[in-house]
A and B are shown apart, each in its own frame.
Chain A
Amino acid sequence: MTMQPILEINNLHAGVENKQILKGFSLTVYPGEVHALMGLNGSGKSTLAAILAGREGYAVTEGTVKYRGQDLLALDPEERARAGLFLAFQYPVEIPGVNSTYFLRAAYNEIRKARGLPEVDAMDFLALVKTKMKLLELKEDLLKRSVNEGFSGGEKKRAEIFQMAVLEPKLAILDETDSGLDIDALKVVAGGVNKLKRPDAAQLIITHYQRLLNYIIPDQVHIMADGCIVRSGGKDLALELESKGYEAIVRNQLVAA
């Protein structure tokens, strides 16, 4: 029996007005897998994440994206989220005056409604939040504050992973969640991500640093340059990248091609 991929990106070409950013990007992710996506600054990693999440302003000119068998690009961003796609933002946004717990419950209930489940009231939700909070060693006080408002860089990243823990996505895309974290926070976040690993869910982890991959063991590592994947391999590829640098790997690849 062949398993249905969670995500199937095929020859994706996309960009903004007058600028092609993704140039034939392909990637297939199966349930239970963790993929790491690495690559130089400006190679198009965040763009890919934004297009997958449905951000405005990008034009797809060629290729397809299938999410659990359906055409992802045809869905509104909120529909994608309700279908289990989660993006941990590289730069999480502040929403002053909107309580974090209230916000998260609204999100949680949207997902439940989409699945035909009854909404959860404030009391029950609080109980759920408490159990998830332990998982990430998150300070309770953060959830009493407005969404991301005045959070430190590290706190924002932790809060993103916390939201992911509560929303239990089918596909989580983590855009440089490790950047800006001190080593202790990195371990906590990585530990949280590992605990959230499920056989029916997958993770796509965008990172610049091999050190994250000491804590999160990826099934596959992909290296991206100029809008497409130039090399894929196992976790050792990240180590090779660390010792040789992008230059060598990308050049080798281009020469080989």
Chain B
Amino acid sequence: MSTATETIEGLVKQEYKYGFYTEVETDSAPPGLSEEIIRFISAKKNEPAWMTEWRLKAYRHWLTMTEPTWQFVKFPTPDFQDITYYSAPKQKKDAPKSLDEVDPKLLETYEKLGIPLRERERLAGVAVDAVFDSVSVGTTYQKQLAEKGILFCSMSEAIQKHPALVQQYLGSVVPYTDNFYASLNSAVFTDGSFCYIPKGVRCPMELSTYFRINAAKSGQFERTLIIADDGGQVSYLEGCTAPMRDENQLHAAVVELVALDNAQIKYSTVQNWYPGDEHGVGGIYNFVTKRGLCKGRNSRITWTQVETGSAITWKYPSCVLLGENSKGEFYSVAVTNNCQQADTGTKMIHIGKNTRSTIVSKGISAGRSQNSYRGLVKIQKSAAHARNFSQCDSMLIGSKCGAHTFPYIEVKNATASVEHEATTSKIGEDQIFYCNQRGIQTQDAVNMIVNGFCKEVFKELPMEFAVEAQKLLGVSLEGSVG
């Protein structure tokens, strides 16, 4: 029988279908971290002196820091001397002139992941920057975007070609002193995506980065910087996968967004890193700092995330609402199954007058997983008439998982209004039986119930992505109900 007779554990048998490994020759740094390694990375990338200096400042600062311990997750401290900080697929020539010159094995990898990069087969309407371990292997549609004045390239390329913009904005939202993992990232980041939308330009297509961790024992430390100048608009998608391995791998990225007057940035993530097996062995540690600065008046930044992967997810995409009337939004679905742990949420820092923020968080826990929402809403003295609305809902599947909510609210201006709502529900046998009785099998019923629960978040995702996200959710929870 497909109904509740079988135990939950017995049925948690999801397969991670992106768990393959690509055999490529790599060019890597020896494991470990030192000023020498940082100079090595910087030299490999042929970086200007200011960049090398910035990295070294970050490294020296990092050495003075200790790892944070306040998060509601448990894991052994990574051995930072055992990580490889630079790993890049070897190129035949120095750099491929076009995507068609990229190693076919790499192109194949992305094809297998559903992200064809070759000119003919590209995804329509989505420009992709593909990051493989430490480096960007190519960016599609660059020419079409350039015609509109949009810069979209790898971070390495931006440092070479657009140094003024990079120098102006890199670290302006997440300074190299920000936190333990952000400092580490600032010291050792190897690549990532860079995007600049000029004044008054609406980006005509979705921009996207696809991160792939391939090499063993390597960390991935990418850095993304998106700037929307006055009146600019862009929607950006991020996707990620990694091979199945028994050891844990560290992913410590930094994403910085800057929205100037009347600009809008929508940043959507579907995070599907390898979550480890059902006993909690292996998987990615996803410790990411994401922050957006609504610098200009009437600017708007929207974070939408669907988090289904990683052994540990620990991230708080945040908005600093500096410009008057600016708006920050955070829509999140975090799913944990088996032994996964997630501590995720957001920070909304209201500084400007009439700033508004909305938080909608949906946590779904199954198996023996732990899922925490942690959110800070801070209204500074200057933020007259600021408004926040937060809604945090948790859903439990089975009885061995946990859901936790940690809302922090600080209000220093009496004209502000802050609303917080929270609910916890359980998928009931009653609901499943009701669906069964209408001809809908248990797995489909769970999907339907969970998707219903996440509806408010999915409707914020770009269309094609929303469909993907729904499917992903189905896969992640496969077998979570007997």
Which positions in A face B, CB cutoff 8 Å? 53-56, 76-78, 80-82, 86-87, 89, 92-99, 103-104, 106-107, 110-111, 114, 146, 163, 167
Contact = CB atoms under 8 A, between A and B. Distances in A.
Interface string B248-279: 00000000000000000000000000000000
Contacts of A54: 3, 436-437
Contacts of B425: 96
A106 B448 CA distance: 10
A94 B426 CA distance: 12
B434 A76 contact: no
Contacts, number: 85
Given A56-B433, A98-B452, A106 B440 contact: yes
B436 A76 contact: yes
Contacts of B455: 97
14 contacts: A53-B437, A55-B433, A76-B2, A76-B436, A78-B440, A81-B436, A87-B437, A93-B428, A95-B434, A97-B452, A106-B448, A107-B440, A110-B440, A110-B441
A160 to B, nearest CB: 10
B439 interface: yes
B444 interface: yes
Nearest to B5: A56
Contacts of B5: 56
Contacts of B438: 81, 103-104, 106-107, 110, 163, 167
Given A96-B452, A98-B448, A77 B437 contact: yes
Contacts of A163: 438
B449 A106 contact: no
Interface in B1-39: 1-5
B142 interface: no
B439 A114 contact: yes
Contacts of A76: 1-3, 436, 441
A89 B434 contact: yes
Contacts of A167: 438-439
Contacts of A93: 428, 430-431, 433-434
A56 B448 contact: no
B465 interface: no
B75 to A, nearest CB: 33
Nearest to A93: B434
Nearest to A55: B433
Given A56-B3, A77-B433, A92-B434, A82 B439 contact: yes
A146 B436 contact: no
Interface in B431-475: 431, 433-442, 444, 448-449, 451-455
A95 B437 contact: no
Contacts of B439: 78, 81-82, 107, 110-111, 114, 167
Interface string B397-441: 000000000000000000000000000010011110111111111
A103 B3 contact: no
Contacts of B444: 106
Interface in B123-172: none
Nearest to B425: A96
A54 B432 CA distance: 12
Contacts of A94: 431
Given A56-B3, A103-B435, 8 more contacts: A53-B437, A56-B433, A77-B436, A78-B437, A81-B437, A92-B434, A93-B434, A97-B455
Contacts of A81: 436-439
A55 B429 CA distance: 10
Contacts of A111: 439
Nearest to A114: B439
A153 B311 CA distance: 44
A162 to B, nearest CB: 12
Contacts of B3: 54, 56, 76-77
